[in-house]
Amino acid sequence: MAVPVFLRDAVDKVAATFFNTSFGRILAVLPPQKIHSKWNSVSWAAAVTETVLVAPDGDGSIEICDLLITAEKKAGGSITIHFDDGTYEKDVVKTTVADGTVNVSPSFQGKVQGWQSAKLYYTIVGTYVGSILITYVKHNKANSLTYANMAEENGW
């Protein structure tokens, strides 16, 4: 005798769903980053002054899920990606492109999240060709720490 089982989320009471796949029926649990992430990309062929890559909504924050960076070799060139709220700044990536091409593709497994109101900027020094692709999740203010709290929590 088969006994039906229903899994419901405790918060929104939505029932979990089984998926039919080539492996049979499965119940998949996915993190919010896999369901709710968005992406943006930029390319350049010349130097770029500090420019917003992603901005939070209001006093929320940005969590980076994936980051892909490619760039040609260029003497004296550099790529910087950093969080900045107008008062505090913290680098995420800072690399030179003088000795060879740049190919960076970390898939963040930990929580790489900015603080309240911090935008994610990129700056390109030198004239060369490159691109950045980012996937991210926007968090609301309630799920975002202040810079002081973030600094304390991470030991900055």
Query: At 61, which CATH number?
Result: 2.60.120.1010
Neighbours of 58 (CB within 10 A): 11
Q: What is the pLDDT of residue 47?
A: 95
* Global pTM value: 0.81
Residues 99-110, mean pLDDT to the nearest whole number = 79
Cα–Cα distance for residue pair 85/115, rounded to 1 Å = 8
The verdict on residue 7 lying in a domain is no
Q: In which band, very low, low, confident or very high, does the pLDDT at 83 lie, cut at 50, 70 and 90?
A: very high
The verdict on residue 13 lying in a domain is no
Phi-psi region of 88 (alpha: psi -120 to 50; beta: other; left: phi over 0): beta
Q: Domain containing 85: what range?
A: 32-146
**In this predicted structure, which of 4-8, 40-44, 135-139, 144-148 has the lowest mean pLDDT?**
4-8
Residues 63-85, mean pLDDT to the nearest whole number = 93
Count structural domains, the chain.
1
Q: What is the pLDDT of residue 1?
A: 67
Cα–Cα distance for residue pair 63/114, rounded to 1 Å = 6
Cα–Cα distance for residue pair 153/65, rounded to 1 Å = 20
The verdict on residue 135 lying in a domain is yes
